Amino acid sequence: MPSLYELTNDMLDLEAKLIEAEGNAADENVEAALMEWAGSLEDQVDQKVEAYCNLIDEFEARAKVRAEAAAQMKHRATVDKNAARALKDRLLTALETMQITRMETELRRVTVANNGGQQPIDIDLERVPAEFQYQPPKEVDMALVREALKASDEAGMDGLSWARFMPRGKHIRIK
């Protein structure tokens, strides 16, 4: 069975032949050839499109299953990290209570160590002077811009000098 690309090229070839014949398909031989070709092409295109849709369905179903599995794995990883952190905290508390800073077991060496890096800071956000603050990046209220553009269109104006509606894109919908 020819590929969808080949079928598209066949349709373009037929279009070229019709243009070459100045659109005269009234001749019985030409008409018969066109009808036969169009009938077989339609069946082939239908089969190709159906095959594409089946493959799309397969990939979408697989993606959904994998996304669900990934969400489950992420949840399990979070649970494991939380459990490990809680066990480390309990072990630290126990070793500090017993005033043990270093211990060697048969397989491991455990050390109670001070944290490195930047020293933590506790901040009362209500009392921070302005010179220590900065503004977050600007965000645009897209709903408000959309309303202003619609109002401008309805009023017969050119719109906003700094914003405009863009053409909508296209996509394939399969039901």
Residue-wise pLDDT tens digits, 78-133 = 999 999 999 999 999 999 999 999 999 999 999 999 988 888 888 888 888 888 88
Q: In this structure, what token pair is assigned to residue 99?
A: 């005033």
Q: Per-residue confidence at 19, pLDDT binned at 50, 70, 90?
A: low
**Overall pTM > 0.75:** no
Confirm whether 53 is domain-assigned.
yes
- Interacting residues of 149 by C-beta distance below 8 A, sequence separation 6+: 159, 160, 163, 164, 165
Confirm whether 45 is domain-assigned.
yes
Using the predicted structure, report yes or no on whether residue 73 has a pLDDT greater than 80: yes
pLDDT at residue 100 in the model: 94
From 42, 73, 23, 49, select the one nearest 175 (Cα to Cα): 49
Average pLDDT for the chain: 81
Confirm whether 152 is domain-assigned.
no
Confirm whether 15 is domain-assigned.
yes
Confirm whether 132 is domain-assigned.
no
Number of domains in the chain: 1
Query: How far is it, in rounded angstroms, from Cα 89 to Cα 173?
Result: 52
**In angstroms, how far is CA 147 from the centroid of its own chain?**
27
Confirm whether 116 is domain-assigned.
no
Helix 28-97 to helix 4-20 angle (10° resolution) is: 150
pLDDT at residue 153 in the model: 80
Confirm whether 171 is domain-assigned.
no
The boundaries of the domain holding residue 17 are 4-111
Confirm whether 44 is domain-assigned.
yes
